[in-house]
Structure 1
Amino acid sequence: MDTEKTDKTPMYQYIMKDIKQKIESGELKPHDPLPTQIDLAKEYNTSEITSRRALSDLVQEGYVYRIRGKGSFIQENPTAGSGSRPIRTIYFAHRNQIDSFDHPFFGDMFDGIKEVCEENGIDFHLWNIGGNYELPDDPQAGIVLLTTKEDFDLSRLSAWQQENRRIVTVHFYYPHLGIPYVIVDNLTGGYLATQHLLSLGHKRIGVILTGDSLMDINQEFSLRLQGYRLALSQHQIAFDPELVAFMSGGKERLEMGAEGFRRLMKLDNPPSAIFATSDYKAIGAMEAAGEMGLKVPEEISVMGYDDFKVSKYTYPSLSTVNQNTKKLGQRAAEILLFELKEGQSQILKDEIVPILVQRNSTGPAPKKAPQAGN
């Protein structure tokens, strides 16, 4: 192939033009595979960054589609998407929440977004919309939006939608507005945690939740509780409200788990396993078990949720549920770059399945009910 170019056209645009001409001439037909970005860079004697950008823009303009793990292919109707505005930057937009981003939920999600952006020559930044709800002054930007559960003005979402801003929400979602979203499947997460304990022979499983009551727990904890109840029902075990400890508080703290554990162990028929719905609460529960003279997992099993980095180093190491939020970040970026089309009426959505992480804080159910030493 003659890859020389005599004008000042940027190389990524030259590659795009060459591929479009091959499509129009019939040399490339619908569903034909394209070379990988590495092979494309070699073919045009350029960098991988340049070939990534060319492929990314061809996707956004509707000439090419991608299948993760398989490659890039020519669209069935390659001119249908022409005229679309390519995304050059993706912003993670939030409202004064940067102090929460030390949680692995966010760190892993940012890694996932960044990975897809780097693969496609796209910039990635955090953006605080603040009290004035100001999005970046860039109508071609892609927005991964984190709302808040209490005080977010939903009328702003409708206004942004009318402005044709390219938005995907994460963590919280609003199907009635038709805005694309990616969330973690917390119901499945709660089910996996409880099923793991049931598989070890535990029949009475306590659960520690954040909130004042069943009516005052947030969406994610409510779904984890539903998963807990579903797993019990599949084993013909009746749901026992006394095995649910509600702990007041906003941020997760060790003391919430410790207090919930002490409360559950005071029952006449205490549980043999605890599903604490966060790693903080689980670690607090293990500390309380030690103070009460109970061995984990020989006398009481403890299950967490989140998979904090520190959880693998606790003694014993904590069994938990990894929310798989790197995948969440990847999917949010992929929807913005490759799947979101202007004027599309069908809502785009994805639910990321969490991953069970088995470590040493869970073990077979003891033959006798646990008895506190003090």
Structure 2
Amino acid sequence: MSTTINRQPLLLLFALTVLLFAACKKSSSTPEETPGEKQYGLLVTAGTPAARYVLNTSDLTQGTLTTAGNGAETNVSVITQRGEYFYGTNNAGNLIKFTSSNKINTIVKEIPFSQISWAYYSSFFAWKDEKTLVLLSMKEALQFEYATLNVETMTITASGNINIPLPPAGYYYWGNNVSFLGNKLYISYNLVNSTTDVPLNEIRLASMDFPNVSNVTVTTDTRFNQPAHYNLHAPGSFVYNNYAYMLNAPTIWIFGETGGSFSVYRVANGATTTDASYQFELTDRTKEEVSGLFNLGGGKAIIKVIDKSKIASSRDYAEKISEFYVIDVVNKTKTKLNIPKSVATPYSNDILVDGNVAYIPASTDAGYYVYTYNASTGSVTRGAKLDGVNGVSQLVKYK
């Protein structure tokens, strides 16, 4: 469809601007690891011209992290990570499972991946459990598809179209958010006019049984208009106390954005509709934007709040216009963290929650540092410096 195709170059340009992909080289043997050498991994760009690296460390709270003499240069686009392994796609479109040391990245398994139309501007994922990764996409922004990957064996165990009705003529689907809750898979999305690129003032919620991906029900909610986009790279939902909480995030770079609310909405376990009694509006929608919903546990999450007055185009997201807040979705409170304004990185999975501690990379006027937020005490301290790093796309824990 022409409207969607016209949209793709801007989306790809924006994605390449604010997202950083990782990749890997093949190796015939697994390199030795120095004890304590790696506990955390950062997917970064560094240098001029910029190169991409997986950079590992045992400590994010102090010292200096640099790719000088460290890090493994890469070229596979990382989708997600769990335990010791990263999962992504290479230039041939194959699925890759690999590990990383500070010297080399090692491919564990590579398999063909043609079951769905995977594309970074229209695809997303959700973990069902430790060994089940569900990959989803929107073919030509019209047809929802899925592929279930067993990450232990690296086999696609199921795939196909999801029985969500195609949009009416003159419209296409956009935006996405996804969550598993109980025995159901939930996908929220919006409907966009093909001529004007203006979304309808509604979101649609598709609920379905899993793993059969059957018994699909679609309902609408006119309070929201833009499910969090680029869920492939930044979380937009989490589950707490039998509810799936999801983020509505109509950032102004999206074509046709008309000033919708930046709100959290929720779905109850087993329900087929959003909870009509619940809405947590996060900002003054005329002045601020919100990106990311990083689960802290206990019904709390970290969000990025971006100064909308400083945004005239997608390039402005590379400026220091973002701040960090902790929200409580049960009590509907928002608390600013003591971190200087930083580069927005609205679609990067660059905040790691490890127990009661959150690690937050922030590129500020003082430099690029990993800040440590202690959820038990509410304190924030400045940790490791990222020397020579241009950006962080993902921050992960290995064990």
TM-score by length of 1: 0.24
Q: Going by fraction, where is helix more abundant, 1 or 2?
A: 1
Q: Going by fraction, where is strand more abundant, 1 or 2?
A: 2
